[in-house]
Structure 1
Amino acid sequence: MSKPASKASAAPVPTGSVSHTLSTRLFLGAACFFSGASMMVIEISAARLLAPLFGNSVYTWTALIGVILIAFSAGGFLGGRLADRRAGLDVLGWLLAAVAVLTFFIPALSTWFGPLFAKSGLIDGPVLFSLFLLAFPGALLGAVSPAAVRLYSLTTSDSHIGGAAGTISMLGSLGSFVGTFLSGFFLLGNFGVRSIFIGTAVLLLALGIIAFLLTGRGLGATTRAVSMGLVAGLVGALVKPVPAEGVIYEEESFYHRIQVTDEGVSPHRRRLLKLDSTHEGGMNPDTGELILGYQHYWRLAMLQDRPLQSALFIGAGAFGMPEEVSRTFPEATVDVAELDPAVIEVGHRFFNLDKHPKVQAHAGDARHYLRTHSDQKWDLIFGDAYNGVQAIPSHLATKEFFQLISDRLTPQGVYTMNVISAVQGDRAELLAGMLATLREVFPHLEVFAVQGPRNMNQNVIILASHQDVSRLIEDQSYPSASWQNRLLRTHVPRHYLPQNGVVFTDDFNPVDAIIARGLLR
C-alpha cells in the first residue's frame, strides 16, 4: 500500500507550463542572490550605526558579525521547518516583505534607542544593540534560502534536491560576495547610511511583491505589503537624529562619521573634531592654540635644543599639532599620514590647514606610507592613530612596525606615542605591553602621565629614542612657567612603570584582548 502524500508535497507549488516553471526558478535564484547581497549590505552598513556609539573597533565588528551569524543560522533552521510545513511562493513573499519592513525601521530604531544602549559599555553594548537591530531581519533573511531550496526542488518534482540546494547555495553566496564588494567599494562612499538601508528595503519589498504576483492570486497580499512598506519607509526616511549642540558640520565618510563642533565665543573658541564616538583633536580656530592636554607633548622632541627640520604625524586628528610644529619651525617639512581622505578635507575647511602650506597631508595607511617612503627621515614621528576611544590599530602596535619607525628616524630623532592606559594597577596591562614591545627596538624610553591618578585610564605619552634624554628630563633649571616644566613634571619614574608586558608582533598581537580586559575592569 502506498503512503499518503506529505503536506510538503501537497503544498501549492508552481506547476503548469514550462515558461511558468522557468520563471519561478529564475525568481527563486534572484531572490536568494539579492537576499545574500542584502544581508551583507545591512551588516556592513550597520557598523556605521554602531560606530558613533561604541567606536569603530574590533569589539564593534566582532559583536556585529557574531550576531548576524547567529541570526542567520537560527533563520536557516526555522526556514527549513517552515518549508516542510508549507511550501509556497506566498510564504517566501511574506518573508521578504517582513524583512523589508524591518529594514526600513533600522535607522529610526538606531536613532530612538541607540543612546540607551550606549550606556551598556564598549563590549556589552555592541552585542546588545546588534541583537536589537539585526536579530529579526537576520533570521528572516536566513529563512529565505531553505524556503527557496524547497520550492526550487518542487519545480522538478523533488527529483533533483541536491541540484536545487547547490544552485540556491551558490547564488546566495555569490550575492553575499557582491553585497560585500558593493558596500565597501561603492555604496558607503557615495550614499548616506539611511539611504542605503531604505534602498535595500525597497529591493527586498519588490522581491516580495514579485513572489505574490507569481502565485497568480497575490493582489491582496501585494496591497498589504506595499501599505506596510510605505509606512515603514516614511518612518525610516523622516526620523533623523537631532544634531548635538554646537555641531557645525557632519558627514558620513568611507571610514567614519565625522562631526565638527564649536564651543564658546571668540577669542576663546574651542573647535573639536569627533570621529565616531571619540574626540580626536581640537584647537582654537581663531589662534590655532591647542586645547587638549596631550597635544602639547610633541614638544618633548625639542628637549635636545635643536630645531626640528622634519616631522611626521600618524593620525591627523584636527591637525593642531602639525600646524603648531609648522608655526614653531617655519622651515620644517611636516607630513601627516591620515587614513581617511575626508578628515583631510575637513582639516582644510575647518582647521586652518590651508594656512600651513608646509603641512602635507597624505591619505592612506600609515604603515604603508612608511614602507613606501624609505628615502625619507624625520626628526619627530608622533603616533596618535585610534579606531575609537581606546582601540589602537593592531598593525600600528607591533615590534615590526616600531622597527619601521626606527628606520625612518634621523640619528637624534624621537618617536612619541599617545597611549590611552593606566600607568599602574590592573589597567596598566596595555602600557606594559607597549613598553615591552618598544624596548625591543628603542634602548631609551620615557613615560609621561598627562592627567589623573596613575591607576586610571588616561593619555600616556611614551618618548622612545636611541639617545639618552633622561638627564634633560631630570634637569631642574627650567623656569616654572616654561613648557618644559609643565610637561616634565608629569614624568613617571622608571620604578613606577609596569613590568613583564607581552611583546606584540605581527604574528602574535593580543592588543585588542588586552584593551578588552581593561575595559571590563
Structure 2
Amino acid sequence: MVLAGISLGNYLGGKLADRFASRRMLGILFLVSGLAALSVLYTASALASYKGPSTLPLVLRIVALTAAIFFLPSCLLGTISPLLVKLTLRDLNRSGDIVGKIYAVSTAGSILGTFATGFFLVSFFGTRTIILGVSLLLFLLAIVFGDWTVRDRGGGRIVSLLLLLATGLGGYAIASRGALASNCLKETNYYCIKVYEETVQDHPVKVLVLDHLVHSYNSLEDPQHLVYGYEFMYAGLTEYAARRRPPGGLRTLFIGGGGYTFPRYIEARYPGSVIDVIEIDPEVTQTAVEYLGLDPMGGIRSINFDARLAIKEMLGDQMYDLVLGDAFHGYSVPYHLTTKEFNDRIKAHLAPGGIYMLNVSSQ
C-alpha cells in the first residue's frame, strides 16, 4: 500500500510540477504531507480494534486497514519528488546528472531509513514518536523551502510564524491527548508486548500478548497450570517421553519462548530436566522474568537468537528427548523454521526415540 501510494503520488506530482512549479508549492506539499503523516497517529489508534467484516479473508482486511492508515500519507509524500526534480532542472544539458543524483540520494535514504528504523529507531523511540518526528521534520521543511516571503514579505513571515505555531500546538495537542502513548508495555524490534491480568477457569493468570495475538496464560502461583488445549497435548506426550527415560529429568528444547509457560511446567513437574529455550527477542524473555514468573536463576536456559542459526551454531552436540516448536510470526510459523534443512537439523539433535512436536495455527 505504501508503494502504491507513492506511485500514485509520483504521477500526480508530475502533473502538479508541470502546472505549479514553485517553491511555494513545494512548501505546501511538505506542509500537507506533514499533516497527513500526523494523521497516522489518530487513524491507527481509531482503527486498532477494528477487525473489518468477518466475511472478508484476513489478508484483505489487513490490506484494507493498511490502506486506510498509510495510503494517503504515502501518496502525498510521493508528490514531492517530481516537483523537486522540476525545480532543480535549470539546464537540460545536465538533466541526467541532476536526476541521477536525486534518485541516488532518495535510494540511499530509503536504505538508511529501512535499516535505521528496523534495528535502532523503533526500539529506542517507538513507532509513535518516530511518526511525530517525521511530521515535525516535514513542517520544518515546509518553513525552510516554502519560500513564503517571495511575493509578500509581511504576509510570508506571518504564514511562517503560523506554521511554527501550528507545529508546536499540534505536537502539544498530540502529546497531551495521549496520541503518543503506546498501548504496548514494550515496543521492540519484533513485537508490541502487552501483559495484563485475567481470570481464566476461575484461576488468576497473566496474559502475554505479542502484537495482536495472545501467546500465553501464566499462573504465577502454579507453574503447572495450563490453559491452551495444545499445552495439554504437549503435557501428555511429555509424560509419555518421561516414562521411557531413566529417572533424572528430561532433555528438552523449545523453539520460541513466548511466556515460558511450558518450560516452567517442565521445570516444576520434572526436576533436574535440561530446558533450553530459543527465543529471538530478548525483551520477550525479560518480560517473562519481570511479569510472568520466569526465574532467571532457575534451570531454564534462554538463548536469544534466531532458531535456525542457534540450532546450527550454539547447541554443540547436545541431544534432546523432546523438541517443542512454538514459534510464530502472527498466525504462521516463520517460513525458515519449516524447511527440510531446518527439520534435518532438529533431527540431528534428537536422541534415539526423541519426539519433535510442532504447534501450527489453523487460522
The answer, yes or no, to whether TM exceeds 0.5 is: yes
Query: 1:338 and 1:355, CA in 2 relative to 1: closer, same or farther beyond 3 A?
Result: closer
TM-superposed CA distance for 1:297, in Å, is 2.5
Q: Aligned runs of 1:22-421 on 2, under 5 Å?
A: 67-119=1-53, 122-154=58-90, 156=91, 158-213=92-147, 216=150, 217=153, 218-240=156-178, 250-264=185-199, 268-288=203-223, 289-299=225-235, 300-304=237-241, 305=243, 306=245, 307=247, 308-354=249-295, 357-372=298-313, 373-388=315-330, 390-421=331-362
Maintained 8 Å contact 1:322/1:359: yes
Query: 1:236 and 1:128, CA in 2 relative to 1: closer, same or farther beyond 3 A?
Result: farther
Where 2:257 maps in the other structure, the secondary structure is coil
Distance 2:200 2:167 in 1: 47
TM-superposed CA distance for 1:354, in Å, is 1.4
TM-score by length of 1: 0.63
TM-superposed CA distance for 1:104, in Å, is 1.6
Distance 1:118 1:228 in 2: 34
Query: 1:228 and 1:126, CA in 2 relative to 1: closer, same or farther beyond 3 A?
Result: farther
Distance 1:214 1:238 in 2: 30
TM-superposed CA distance for 1:374, in Å, is 3.5
Query: 1:351 and 1:117, CA in 2 relative to 1: closer, same or farther beyond 3 A?
Result: closer
Where 1:312 maps in the other structure, the secondary structure is strand
TM-superposed CA distance for 1:412, in Å, is 1.8
Distance 1:114 1:298 in 2: 33
Distance 1:242 1:195 in 2: 6
Q: Which protein shows a greater Rg?
A: 1
TM-superposed CA distance for 1:240, in Å, is 3.7
Report the aligned-residue RMSD: 2.5
Maintained 8 Å contact 1:105/1:232: no
TM-superposed CA distance for 1:210, in Å, is 0.3
TM-superposed CA distance for 1:163, in Å, is 2.1
Where 1:160 maps in the other structure, the secondary structure is helix
Maintained 8 Å contact 2:279/2:285: yes
Maintained 8 Å contact 2:119/2:189: no
Q: Summarize deviations over 1:183-232 as a string: whole Å, max 9, x none.
A: 01210110121111111111111111101247544324323433443454
Maintained 8 Å contact 2:29/2:76: yes
Q: Summarize deviations over 1:315-372 as a string: whole Å, max 9, x none.
A: 1121110011111221111010001111100111112211661101111111111011
Question: How many residues were matched structurally?
Answer: 350
Maintained 8 Å contact 1:378/1:410: yes
Distance 1:135 1:227 in 2: 27
Query: 1:395 and 1:407, CA in 2 relative to 1: closer, same or farther beyond 3 A?
Result: same
Where 2:361 maps in the other structure, the secondary structure is strand
Where 1:335 maps in the other structure, the secondary structure is strand
Distance 1:118 1:239 in 2: 26
Query: 1:273 and 1:92, CA in 2 relative to 1: closer, same or farther beyond 3 A?
Result: same
- What is the identity, as a one-letter code, of the residue corresponding to 2:328? Y
TM-superposed CA distance for 1:118, in Å, is 4.8
Maintained 8 Å contact 2:252/2:320: yes
Unaligned 5+ segments in structure 1 are 1-66, 422-456, 458-521
Maintained 8 Å contact 2:319/2:349: yes
Where 2:203 maps in the other structure, the secondary structure is coil
Distance 1:80 1:206 in 2: 23
Distance 2:285 2:57 in 1: 30
TM-superposed CA distance for 1:93, in Å, is 0.8
